[in-house]
Amino acid sequence: MAAGGGDPAASPLKTPSWAVRIRGADGEIAGAGILLTPDQVLTCAHVVDRAEDRLTAEFVGAADHSVPAVPARVDGSAYVPETRDADGDPVGDVALLRLDRPRPVGETVRLHRLSAPGREVRMYGFPYAHNGGIWFRSTVVGGCGRDGQVQLSPVSPGELASPGCSGAGVADSRTGEVIGMVLSGQQDQHGNRFSFMSPAETIARHLPRLKPHIVGPTAVDERLLPAADGASQDLLDEPFAQRLAAWLRDDGSQVKISVVGPGDAARSATLRRAITLADRELRTAVSVDRASLDPPGTVPSAGGHDLAVDASGVSAAEIAERIAERMGLWQHPEDPPLDRIRASRATLNLVVVGVDEAADPLSLLDLLDVLRAGGSRLLLVFREDGDCHRRARDRLLVRPGRERRARLVERLREITGPLAQDLHERLAAVVPHGVRPLDSDLVAAHAALAGLLRADDADDADDADAGGVDRDGVDRGGVDRGGVDRGGVGRGDEDREGDGRPDSGRVPGPGLDLARYERLADRAAGRLAKAVAQLDRLRDRRDELAGRLRGYHVLHQHALRGEEDPEVDGLYLRAHALLRARPCDVRAAEAAVDAYTRRVDDHGEGDAR
């Protein structure tokens, strides 16, 4: 049995007992639902709208293999219709039904709070073609919109959530826990297919009465919640709030390090505000709409983080256990949590406040480095610019940044060296009919490589000036005279102002955008590979034509028995010359070979007559 109650949703051979099929007054399937208590079913508000007042809940996973049908109705005010916020994104669409007769408690399931990035999930819905119920598989892509909804990508095109799936439970494939509810599925104008779900925390915000039926620790430690007296609500460091919101909206920085001193009330309040607004469950209704009085760019999207912990006085092992639980790493509980995290492919967006006040800060840095290497995003807050802060900056920002840059340099060298040489060799062999010109891509790759190498030279010079020690590690006041970020890590990784103090309120200057260079490298490498493949096909066609020409020439010579045919020989010589030319115009050569072979065929038919 899954930890949340009910049948394990991970079993592909069993209909889940909590899966509910909902019919309207006309007897048609209106959608699906989740049996949370013996007499309460969670579903989408639009399912209720479609079914009107008379609803029937059918339990396809009943233990006795029957399909009991129970009348149901909206449970009082537990109805939040879908609306659109100022951005046009959907909000709400949840409802709770009350059954006329209760079901066995063993058929119920509880929702589970679980970090979602990259998870493989499954949903059990009732599309028209499979109205008895069917599993759909998806992968979590990420959050979308300001309501904390989550985008799902179907494993195969046929597994897009379709009518009859709205309100279905979304179960984590690894743990079997039900972590959310299907909202809709759609295909955009480009043919991309997506489904959407409302995770447990968003459902809890819309329907607070369901919190007793949602298990798993909340995403935010109590010590990080805003003060109950509201005394700090009016305190806001707006530039800091904008940078926090940018990271929580995924500005491309994997690791962000800030210092918030214990006596800095405004920055402390700003940090707590950002953490609260980015949590799906704690976010208030007013923060969903731009009509609120929040300054522009300071409100992060709900779901910007998966876990926010206060490390003060807490051991690294305890924090690792908290992370493992949030990731759903419950298998092999006898293994240390760090080992489970290291072996897992799960990731999360993690906020750690008071890194330097942990019971064992250096062990905590080990844990954070494992998470960074595994692809998790980290927002780390220190209380002072001390030794622990400098170690973290070097280990989590500077070294990974330089390693990333070194990998990018090698890749660009491969693109501008061997891959470009492969292209030029093929361009020397055949005329590139139908092949996209790549001059601009190669110029851009050379320019990117030159910029990265200049940044390396700048780093070496700085290290020499400092006696081989990187004096301030990441962002030395922005941009040097040559326009290259001398820190080489990218923008926004650590907040600084001109005097070098960490995160004192000024956005750092622009630097090397490694993500942009990586996209450039991906694009150039992809186009080079495609062009080489196209040119190889042209070379293969040239060789085929050459073989065809030789074969026909031998046949024609045998047919002539020593006689001469100047007109046919002229066609042969033209085709032969075109095939031997470098670069070979394959289209022209093909036309010439076709002309020669047709003439030889005609000559043979004439002899036969």
Q: What is the pLDDT of residues 294-350, one digit of tens each?
A: 788 898 888 889 999 999 999 999 999 999 999 888 777 788 888 889 888 888 999
Q: What is the pLDDT of residues 82-115, one digit of tens each?
A: 877 766 677 888 999 999 999 999 999 999 998 7
Nearest one of 436, 425, 408, 595 to 531, comparing CA atoms: 436
Q: What is the pLDDT of residues 174-196, one digit of tens each?
A: 888 999 999 876 555 555 566 78
Residue 396 — pLDDT band, cuts 50, 70, 90? very high
pLDDT at 442: 96
pLDDT at 11: 54
Residue 68 preceded by cis peptide, ω within 30:
no
Residues written for the chain: 609
Q: Hey, CA dihedral for 395, 396, 401, 407, is it positive or negative?
A: positive
> Where are the alpha helices (H) located in 175-263, listed in sequence order?
200-206, 238-248
Output the CA–CA distances (angstroms, integers) from residue 595 to 181, 296, 323, 400, 560, in the order listed.
66, 70, 72, 62, 18
d(CA 198, CA 170): 9
- Average pLDDT in the 531-554 region? 96
Residue 260 — pLDDT band, cuts 50, 70, 90? very high
- Average pLDDT in the 122-135 region? 83
pLDDT at 223: 93
Q: What is the pLDDT of residues 473-497, one digit of tens each?
A: 333 222 222 222 223 333 335 554 3
The pTM of the full predicted model, rounded to 2 decimals, is: 0.76
Mean pLDDT, the chain, as a whole number?
82
pLDDT at 51: 59
- Average pLDDT in the 392-413 region? 94
β partners of residue 308:
220, 351
Residue 125 — pLDDT band, cuts 50, 70, 90? confident
Nearest one of 336, 330, 334, 364 to 350, comparing CA atoms: 364
